[in-house]
Amino acid sequence: MKALTPSHATVLRAVDRCGTTVEAARRLHLTQSAVSKIIARSEAVLGVPVFERSAGRLVLLPQARALMRALGDVEDEWATLRRAVVDLRSGRALPLRIASTPSIGQGLIAQAIRRLVADYPQARIELIMGDAPTELSKGAADLGVMFSPRVTDDIALTPLARAAIIALVRRDDPLARRGSVSLPELRGRRLICFDREKSPLGWLIARAYERAGLDYAPFMTVPYSISAAHLLARQGDVILIDSLLTQAQHFEGLAKLDVTPELPTTICLMTVRSRPLTRLAARFVEILVGSRQPG
């Protein structure tokens, strides 16, 4: 042996605490002879004795007290390193931060997370409900999943699934007996929808209104589909939202209508080209991309 190792430091400290090689060996799950050999080899490397025998016990020599304190620091540092390695392998080292919207989070992302935690049971995951491109750009999120996002060149897009804009009305609304509705048929209705400047879906719907020769003037704007679904109160109000929400949740008293012509949208995975993915994030991407719907 040419130098002390962390395992030898552990043995020397155990003997110091226990006072005998027998008790130190029991605590470390070693044989007594193995502990005695490590003491002898350690003292040979150091060139000085560490313990003296007194009344059947091993007592730390005064000149070795500073050494034992230093060995304690080494052992603590190695214990910290071992925990860091375990955390890294298990996914605990850093949380996986995913920026998305509630309707995507309840469906596509929730399914992928269930598979991810089967591989990494102790993984830490943080869902961020916010503007995904912004969260990615400022480093607050590792991944983003969003409807047809408008992004900078540094953000890579991977199409995952298709969805469409649908309408929700109250079940006592005359439209509820129909399976579909066109935008011109919603003229004069109070519309609860997205802001055209703040939401890609709002921009998509506003463009469709303009192509139909209609003004896009929602009575109320909301950030997420789930917010809109809970705000429909009186007969005559109409909500335009993404179709994913009604796949993940059922809303009592509301009827779903397809919008014609169809207003399709694409759900995209967003990653930052200049930022390497963590091991946990890379596995999540594998699961998400592997489960994407054709379309």
CATH of 96-158+271-290, one of 3.40.30.10, 3.30.360.10, 3.60.40.10, 3.40.190.10: 3.40.190.10
Top-level class of domain 6-90: mainly alpha
CA atoms within 13 A on the CB side of 141: 24
pLDDT computed for residue 54 by the predictor: 87
Ordered by start, the domain boundaries in the chain are 6-90, 96-158+271-290, 160-266
Q: Is it true that 96-158+271-290 and 160-266 share their CATH fold?
A: yes
Give strand pairing partners of 193: 221
CB atoms within 10 A of CB 61: 14
pTM (whole model) above 0.85? no
Which is it for the CA torsion 239, 243, 244, 249, positive or negative? positive
Residue 145 contacts residue 108 (beta carbons within 8 Å): yes
CA distances for 68 relative to 21, 27, 40, 90, 204, angstroms: 16, 18, 16, 33, 69
Give the phi and the psi of residue 190 in degrees, each rounded to 5: -75, 120
pLDDT computed for residue 90 by the predictor: 54
pLDDT computed for residue 1 by the predictor: 45
Architecture of the structural domain at 160-266? 3-Layer(aba) Sandwich (3.40)
Over its length of 295 residues, how does the chain's per-residue pLDDT go in tens digits? 467 777 888 888 889 889 899 999 999 999 999 999 989 888 888 888 889 888 889 998 888 888 888 887 877 777 666 765 665 565 555 689 999 988 787 778 888 999 999 988 888 899 998 788 889 988 899 999 998 877 778 999 999 989 999 999 999 899 999 999 999 999 989 999 999 988 889 999 999 999 999 999 999 998 888 777 777 767 789 999 898 888 777 788 889 999 999 999 999 999 999 999 988 899 999 999 887 654 4
Q: How far apart are CA 180 and CA 168, in angstroms?
A: 10
105: closest CA among 135, 134, 133, 125? 125
